Structure 1
Amino acid sequence: MTLTFHDLDEQTRHLMVEELELDQSAGRLYLSPRLNEDGLGRFPTLLKEAMLTGDAALLASKILQERLLSDLEPRKHKSGGVQMVRVSYNAHEMLAEGEFNKFYVRALCRRALGETGAKLRIYRAKPVTQPRHDSLEKIGQIIDPVELLADLRGNLGVDAALKAPSGPNSGLSVELVK
Protein backbone atom coordinates (compact mmCIF):
# COMPACT_ATOMS: atom_id res chain seq x y z
CA MET A 1 0.00 0.00 0.00
CA THR A 2 1.25 3.45 -0.87
CA LEU A 3 1.07 6.86 0.74
CA THR A 4 -2.13 8.91 0.52
CA PHE A 5 -1.50 12.59 -0.13
CA HIS A 6 -4.45 14.79 0.89
CA ASP A 7 -3.25 17.96 -0.82
CA LEU A 8 -1.70 16.64 -4.04
CA ASP A 9 -3.16 19.09 -6.54
CA GLU A 10 -1.75 21.14 -9.42
CA GLN A 11 -0.43 23.87 -7.13
CA THR A 12 1.38 21.35 -4.94
CA ARG A 13 2.75 19.51 -7.97
CA HIS A 14 4.13 22.77 -9.40
CA LEU A 15 5.87 23.60 -6.11
CA MET A 16 7.26 20.06 -5.88
CA VAL A 17 8.89 20.48 -9.28
CA GLU A 18 10.31 23.85 -8.22
CA GLU A 19 11.83 22.23 -5.13
CA LEU A 20 13.29 19.41 -7.25
CA GLU A 21 14.84 21.93 -9.64
CA LEU A 22 16.24 23.86 -6.67
CA ASP A 23 18.04 20.70 -5.47
CA GLN A 24 19.25 19.87 -8.97
CA SER A 25 20.64 23.35 -9.60
CA ALA A 26 22.44 23.25 -6.25
CA GLY A 27 23.84 19.77 -7.00
CA ARG A 28 22.25 18.28 -3.90
CA LEU A 29 19.57 15.98 -5.29
CA TYR A 30 19.65 12.77 -3.25
CA LEU A 31 20.53 9.75 -5.37
CA SER A 32 20.29 6.53 -3.42
CA PRO A 33 23.41 4.34 -3.34
CA ARG A 34 21.03 1.51 -4.23
CA LEU A 35 20.49 2.98 -7.71
CA ASN A 36 22.49 1.29 -10.47
CA GLU A 37 24.15 3.23 -13.28
CA ASP A 38 20.92 3.45 -15.30
CA GLY A 39 19.05 4.43 -12.15
CA LEU A 40 21.40 7.30 -11.41
CA GLY A 41 20.64 8.71 -14.85
CA ARG A 42 16.90 7.98 -14.97
CA PHE A 43 15.76 8.66 -11.41
CA PRO A 44 15.59 12.49 -11.60
CA THR A 45 13.45 12.34 -14.76
CA LEU A 46 11.14 9.70 -13.33
CA LEU A 47 10.79 11.64 -10.08
CA LYS A 48 9.78 14.75 -12.01
CA GLU A 49 7.30 12.77 -14.13
CA ALA A 50 5.70 11.36 -10.97
CA MET A 51 5.49 14.86 -9.51
CA LEU A 52 3.75 16.18 -12.61
CA THR A 53 1.30 13.38 -13.34
CA GLY A 54 1.50 10.58 -10.81
CA ASP A 55 2.47 9.73 -7.27
CA ALA A 56 4.91 7.65 -5.24
CA ALA A 57 3.33 4.40 -6.43
CA LEU A 58 3.94 5.33 -10.07
CA LEU A 59 7.56 6.20 -9.29
CA ALA A 60 8.06 2.91 -7.44
CA SER A 61 6.62 0.89 -10.31
CA LYS A 62 8.89 2.66 -12.82
CA ILE A 63 11.97 2.00 -10.67
CA LEU A 64 11.02 -1.67 -10.53
CA GLN A 65 9.97 -2.04 -14.19
CA GLU A 66 13.09 -0.34 -15.50
CA ARG A 67 15.32 -2.30 -13.10
CA LEU A 68 17.02 0.83 -11.77
CA LEU A 69 18.29 -0.66 -8.51
CA SER A 70 21.38 -2.75 -7.94
CA ASP A 71 20.82 -6.36 -6.97
CA LEU A 72 23.39 -6.27 -4.16
CA GLU A 73 24.59 -3.71 -1.64
CA PRO A 74 27.33 -3.70 0.99
CA ARG A 75 26.36 -4.24 4.62
CA LYS A 76 28.85 -3.31 7.31
CA HIS A 77 29.22 -5.55 10.33
CA LYS A 78 29.95 -4.37 13.85
CA SER A 79 33.21 -6.27 13.62
CA GLY A 80 34.28 -4.00 10.78
CA GLY A 81 33.78 -6.42 7.91
CA VAL A 82 31.61 -5.83 4.87
CA GLN A 83 29.35 -8.38 3.21
CA MET A 84 27.39 -8.05 -0.02
CA VAL A 85 23.67 -8.72 0.54
CA ARG A 86 20.56 -8.60 -1.61
CA VAL A 87 18.84 -5.23 -1.80
CA SER A 88 15.57 -5.29 0.14
CA TYR A 89 12.56 -6.58 -1.80
CA ASN A 90 10.74 -3.27 -1.21
CA ALA A 91 13.69 -0.92 -1.78
CA HIS A 92 11.98 0.59 -4.83
CA GLU A 93 8.94 1.50 -2.70
CA MET A 94 10.99 2.93 0.15
CA LEU A 95 13.02 5.10 -2.22
CA ALA A 96 9.99 6.31 -4.19
CA GLU A 97 7.84 7.01 -1.14
CA GLY A 98 10.61 8.72 0.78
CA GLU A 99 11.67 11.04 -2.01
CA PHE A 100 8.16 11.82 -3.29
CA ASN A 101 6.96 12.54 0.26
CA LYS A 102 9.96 14.77 0.95
CA PHE A 103 9.17 17.02 -2.01
CA TYR A 104 5.44 16.89 -1.27
CA VAL A 105 6.05 18.13 2.28
CA ARG A 106 8.42 20.84 1.04
CA ALA A 107 5.71 22.02 -1.36
CA LEU A 108 3.11 22.08 1.41
CA CYS A 109 5.47 24.11 3.59
CA ARG A 110 5.63 26.72 0.85
CA ARG A 111 1.86 26.67 0.43
CA ALA A 112 1.32 27.12 4.17
CA LEU A 113 3.72 30.07 4.16
CA GLY A 114 1.84 31.65 1.26
CA GLU A 115 -1.71 31.13 2.53
CA THR A 116 -2.94 33.31 5.39
CA GLY A 117 -3.80 31.22 8.42
CA ALA A 118 -2.69 27.92 6.91
CA LYS A 119 -0.90 25.44 9.14
CA LEU A 120 0.60 21.99 8.71
CA ARG A 121 -0.55 18.95 10.67
CA ILE A 122 1.20 15.58 10.80
CA TYR A 123 -0.93 12.61 9.73
CA ARG A 124 -0.47 8.96 8.88
CA ALA A 125 -0.25 8.84 5.09
CA LYS A 126 0.39 5.10 4.95
CA PRO A 127 -1.22 2.46 7.12
CA VAL A 128 1.27 0.28 8.97
CA THR A 129 0.65 -2.98 10.78
CA GLN A 130 2.71 -2.09 13.83
CA PRO A 131 3.03 1.67 14.23
CA ARG A 132 5.86 2.86 16.43
CA HIS A 133 4.80 4.57 19.65
CA ASP A 134 6.88 7.68 18.84
CA SER A 135 5.21 7.86 15.44
CA LEU A 136 1.72 7.65 16.94
CA GLU A 137 2.53 10.56 19.25
CA LYS A 138 3.35 12.78 16.27
CA ILE A 139 -0.01 12.34 14.54
CA GLY A 140 -2.15 15.46 14.88
CA GLN A 141 0.70 17.74 15.88
CA ILE A 142 0.89 21.15 14.23
CA ILE A 143 4.34 21.80 12.81
CA ASP A 144 6.02 25.07 11.85
CA PRO A 145 6.40 25.30 8.05
CA VAL A 146 9.44 27.60 8.26
CA GLU A 147 11.41 25.19 10.43
CA LEU A 148 10.23 22.11 8.53
CA LEU A 149 11.13 23.55 5.12
CA ALA A 150 14.58 24.59 6.31
CA ASP A 151 15.13 21.16 7.85
CA LEU A 152 14.05 19.33 4.69
CA ARG A 153 16.16 21.50 2.44
CA GLY A 154 19.16 20.87 4.64
CA ASN A 155 18.70 17.15 5.31
CA LEU A 156 17.90 14.07 3.28
CA GLY A 157 14.67 12.67 4.65
CA VAL A 158 11.22 13.64 5.83
CA ASP A 159 11.39 11.22 8.78
CA ALA A 160 14.29 13.14 10.29
CA ALA A 161 12.62 16.48 9.65
CA LEU A 162 9.38 15.39 11.33
CA LYS A 163 11.46 13.95 14.16
CA ALA A 164 9.77 10.64 13.49
CA PRO A 165 11.28 7.44 14.82
CA SER A 166 14.60 6.51 13.33
CA GLY A 167 14.63 4.59 10.11
CA PRO A 168 12.81 4.97 6.82
CA ASN A 169 9.19 4.22 6.16
CA SER A 170 7.41 5.93 9.07
CA GLY A 171 4.35 6.49 6.90
CA LEU A 172 3.97 10.06 8.18
CA SER A 173 3.37 13.16 6.10
CA VAL A 174 1.71 16.55 6.55
CA GLU A 175 -1.55 18.12 5.44
CA LEU A 176 -2.73 21.69 5.14
CA VAL A 177 -5.09 22.91 7.86
CA LYS A 178 -6.88 26.20 7.32
Structure 2
Amino acid sequence: MGLEYRNLDTATRAEMAAEVAMDTAGGSIYLSSRLTEQGAREWPELLLAAVTTGTDDSLAQTLASKGLLKTHEESHRNGKSFTKAVPVTAATTLAEGEFNRMYLRGIASRGVREGRDIEVYRGRQSEKPRSESEALVGQRMAADTLLHDLRTNIGVDVALGLPPGPNSGLTGELT
Protein backbone atom coordinates (compact mmCIF):
# COMPACT_ATOMS: atom_id res chain seq x y z
CA MET A 1 0.00 0.00 0.00
CA GLY A 2 1.37 3.40 -0.99
CA LEU A 3 2.06 6.45 1.08
CA GLU A 4 -0.57 8.84 2.43
CA TYR A 5 0.01 12.15 0.63
CA ARG A 6 -1.80 14.84 2.61
CA ASN A 7 -1.46 17.56 -0.05
CA LEU A 8 -2.11 15.45 -3.15
CA ASP A 9 -4.68 17.71 -4.80
CA THR A 10 -5.14 19.31 -8.20
CA ALA A 11 -2.67 22.13 -7.49
CA THR A 12 0.03 19.74 -6.26
CA ARG A 13 -0.53 17.37 -9.20
CA ALA A 14 -0.06 20.29 -11.61
CA GLU A 15 3.26 21.17 -9.94
CA MET A 16 4.31 17.51 -9.99
CA ALA A 17 3.53 17.24 -13.70
CA ALA A 18 5.58 20.37 -14.37
CA GLU A 19 8.52 18.83 -12.48
CA VAL A 20 8.30 15.59 -14.50
CA ALA A 21 8.10 17.60 -17.74
CA MET A 22 11.13 19.69 -16.72
CA ASP A 23 13.22 16.59 -16.01
CA THR A 24 12.07 14.87 -19.20
CA ALA A 25 12.86 17.91 -21.36
CA GLY A 26 16.21 18.41 -19.63
CA GLY A 27 17.22 14.76 -19.91
CA SER A 28 17.59 14.50 -16.14
CA ILE A 29 14.71 12.17 -15.32
CA TYR A 30 15.80 9.34 -13.05
CA LEU A 31 15.96 6.00 -14.86
CA SER A 32 16.44 3.01 -12.59
CA SER A 33 18.98 0.44 -13.73
CA ARG A 34 16.25 -2.12 -13.01
CA LEU A 35 14.07 -0.86 -15.87
CA THR A 36 14.14 -2.87 -19.08
CA GLU A 37 14.93 -1.00 -22.31
CA GLN A 38 11.19 -0.76 -22.97
CA GLY A 39 10.64 0.33 -19.36
CA ALA A 40 13.20 3.12 -19.72
CA ARG A 41 11.45 4.34 -22.89
CA GLU A 42 8.02 4.30 -21.25
CA TRP A 43 9.05 5.57 -17.80
CA PRO A 44 8.67 9.33 -18.38
CA GLU A 45 5.15 8.90 -19.78
CA LEU A 46 4.15 6.44 -17.05
CA LEU A 47 5.44 8.71 -14.29
CA LEU A 48 3.65 11.69 -15.82
CA ALA A 49 0.39 9.73 -16.00
CA ALA A 50 0.74 8.65 -12.37
CA VAL A 51 1.43 12.15 -11.03
CA THR A 52 -1.43 13.55 -13.11
CA THR A 53 -4.20 11.11 -12.18
CA GLY A 54 -2.74 8.07 -10.43
CA THR A 55 -0.85 7.02 -7.32
CA ASP A 56 2.38 5.31 -6.42
CA ASP A 57 0.36 2.08 -6.22
CA SER A 58 -1.04 2.46 -9.75
CA LEU A 59 2.45 3.20 -11.08
CA ALA A 60 3.85 0.07 -9.39
CA GLN A 61 1.01 -2.02 -10.78
CA THR A 62 1.69 -0.75 -14.30
CA LEU A 63 5.41 -1.48 -14.03
CA ALA A 64 4.75 -5.02 -12.82
CA SER A 65 1.86 -5.89 -15.14
CA LYS A 66 3.67 -4.67 -18.27
CA GLY A 67 6.91 -6.44 -17.32
CA LEU A 68 8.97 -3.25 -17.47
CA LEU A 69 11.51 -4.32 -14.85
CA LYS A 70 14.38 -6.71 -15.35
CA THR A 71 14.11 -10.09 -13.67
CA HIS A 72 17.84 -10.29 -12.84
CA GLU A 73 20.64 -7.84 -12.15
CA GLU A 74 24.38 -7.88 -11.64
CA SER A 75 25.66 -7.47 -8.11
CA HIS A 76 29.05 -7.56 -6.40
CA ARG A 77 30.35 -9.20 -3.25
CA ASN A 78 33.95 -9.48 -2.10
CA GLY A 79 35.14 -8.01 -5.39
CA LYS A 80 33.32 -10.61 -7.48
CA SER A 81 30.31 -10.01 -9.67
CA PHE A 82 27.33 -12.33 -9.83
CA THR A 83 23.78 -12.33 -11.13
CA LYS A 84 20.87 -12.27 -8.72
CA ALA A 85 17.10 -11.99 -9.00
CA VAL A 86 15.62 -8.52 -8.77
CA PRO A 87 13.56 -8.30 -5.56
CA VAL A 88 9.83 -8.91 -6.01
CA THR A 89 9.25 -5.52 -4.35
CA ALA A 90 11.27 -3.62 -6.99
CA ALA A 91 8.23 -2.17 -8.80
CA THR A 92 6.75 -0.88 -5.55
CA THR A 93 10.06 0.53 -4.33
CA LEU A 94 10.74 2.38 -7.59
CA ALA A 95 7.18 3.67 -8.01
CA GLU A 96 6.82 4.83 -4.42
CA GLY A 97 10.25 6.41 -4.35
CA GLU A 98 9.90 8.41 -7.54
CA PHE A 99 6.25 9.34 -7.04
CA ASN A 100 7.16 10.59 -3.56
CA ARG A 101 10.11 12.61 -4.92
CA MET A 102 7.83 14.28 -7.46
CA TYR A 103 5.20 14.86 -4.76
CA LEU A 104 7.83 16.50 -2.55
CA ARG A 105 9.02 18.62 -5.47
CA GLY A 106 5.41 19.54 -6.20
CA ILE A 107 4.64 20.68 -2.66
CA ALA A 108 8.01 22.42 -2.39
CA SER A 109 7.27 24.32 -5.61
CA ARG A 110 3.87 25.27 -4.20
CA GLY A 111 5.52 26.21 -0.92
CA VAL A 112 7.85 28.62 -2.70
CA ARG A 113 4.93 30.20 -4.55
CA GLU A 114 2.68 30.34 -1.48
CA GLY A 115 5.35 31.30 1.08
CA ARG A 116 5.00 28.07 3.07
CA ASP A 117 7.42 25.53 4.55
CA ILE A 118 7.40 21.74 4.37
CA GLU A 119 7.02 19.53 7.45
CA VAL A 120 8.15 15.90 7.41
CA TYR A 121 5.68 13.22 8.48
CA ARG A 122 5.36 9.45 8.27
CA GLY A 123 3.20 8.62 5.26
CA ARG A 124 3.25 4.92 6.02
CA GLN A 125 3.69 3.25 9.36
CA SER A 126 6.77 1.14 9.91
CA GLU A 127 7.23 -1.66 12.41
CA LYS A 128 10.95 -0.97 12.63
CA PRO A 129 11.56 2.66 11.62
CA ARG A 130 15.16 3.71 11.02
CA SER A 131 16.53 6.13 13.59
CA GLU A 132 17.53 8.53 10.78
CA SER A 133 13.93 8.56 9.59
CA GLU A 134 12.49 9.07 13.05
CA ALA A 135 14.83 12.02 13.58
CA LEU A 136 13.31 13.74 10.52
CA VAL A 137 9.65 13.39 11.55
CA GLY A 138 8.26 16.79 12.57
CA GLN A 139 11.17 18.77 11.12
CA ARG A 140 10.37 21.80 8.98
CA MET A 141 12.29 22.65 5.85
CA ALA A 142 12.30 25.78 3.76
CA ALA A 143 10.46 24.99 0.54
CA ASP A 144 13.07 26.64 -1.71
CA THR A 145 15.94 24.74 -0.08
CA LEU A 146 14.13 21.41 -0.36
CA LEU A 147 13.13 22.08 -3.97
CA HIS A 148 16.71 22.94 -4.94
CA ASP A 149 18.01 19.81 -3.21
CA LEU A 150 15.51 17.51 -4.92
CA ARG A 151 16.10 19.06 -8.35
CA THR A 152 19.87 18.92 -8.00
CA ASN A 153 20.25 15.46 -6.47
CA ILE A 154 18.45 13.08 -8.81
CA GLY A 155 17.89 9.55 -7.54
CA VAL A 156 18.17 8.26 -4.02
CA ASP A 157 20.91 10.46 -2.53
CA VAL A 158 19.76 13.88 -1.40
CA ALA A 159 21.65 16.31 0.81
CA LEU A 160 18.78 17.17 3.15
CA GLY A 161 17.82 13.55 3.71
CA LEU A 162 14.25 13.83 2.42
CA PRO A 163 13.24 11.34 1.30
CA PRO A 164 15.70 9.37 3.48
CA GLY A 165 16.19 6.45 1.10
CA PRO A 166 13.94 3.74 -0.28
CA ASN A 167 11.07 2.41 1.81
CA SER A 168 11.43 5.01 4.57
CA GLY A 169 7.72 5.82 4.55
CA LEU A 170 8.48 9.53 5.04
CA THR A 171 7.09 12.38 3.00
CA GLY A 172 6.04 15.98 3.67
CA GLU A 173 3.19 18.43 3.83
CA LEU A 174 2.73 22.16 3.42
CA THR A 175 2.68 24.16 6.66
Q: TM-score, normalised by structure 1?
A: 0.93
Deviation at 1:45, TM superposition (A): 1.1
Deviation at 1:156, TM superposition (A): 2.1
2:87 corresponds in structure 1 to: 88
Within 5 A, what are the aligned runs for 1:1-178?
1-77=1-77, 79-116=78-115, 118-157=116-155, 160-163=158-161, 167-177=165-175
Amino acid at match of 2:169: G
Deviation at 1:159, TM superposition (A): 6.4
Mark the runs of 5 or more structure 2 residues left unpaired by the alignment.
none
Q: How many residues align?
A: 175
Equivalent residues of 2:108, 2:143 under 8 A apart? yes
Equivalent residues of 1:121, 1:140 under 8 A apart? yes
CA-to-aligned-CA distance 1:29-69 (integer Å, 9 cap, x gap): 11100001111111111111111111100000000110100
1:160 partner SS: coil
Give the Cα–Cα distance (whole angstroms) in 2 for the partners of residues 114 and 165 of structure 1. Answer: 21
Give the Cα–Cα distance (whole angstroms) in 2 for the partners of residues 125 and 166 of structure 1. Answer: 13
Amino acid at match of 2:143: P
Deviation at 1:164, TM superposition (A): 5.5
Mark the runs of 5 or more structure 1 residues left unpaired by the alignment.
none
Give the Cα–Cα distance (whole angstroms) in 2 for the partners of residues 29 and 165 of structure 1. Answer: 17
Give the Cα–Cα distance (whole angstroms) in 2 for the partners of residues 165 and 38 of structure 1. Answer: 27
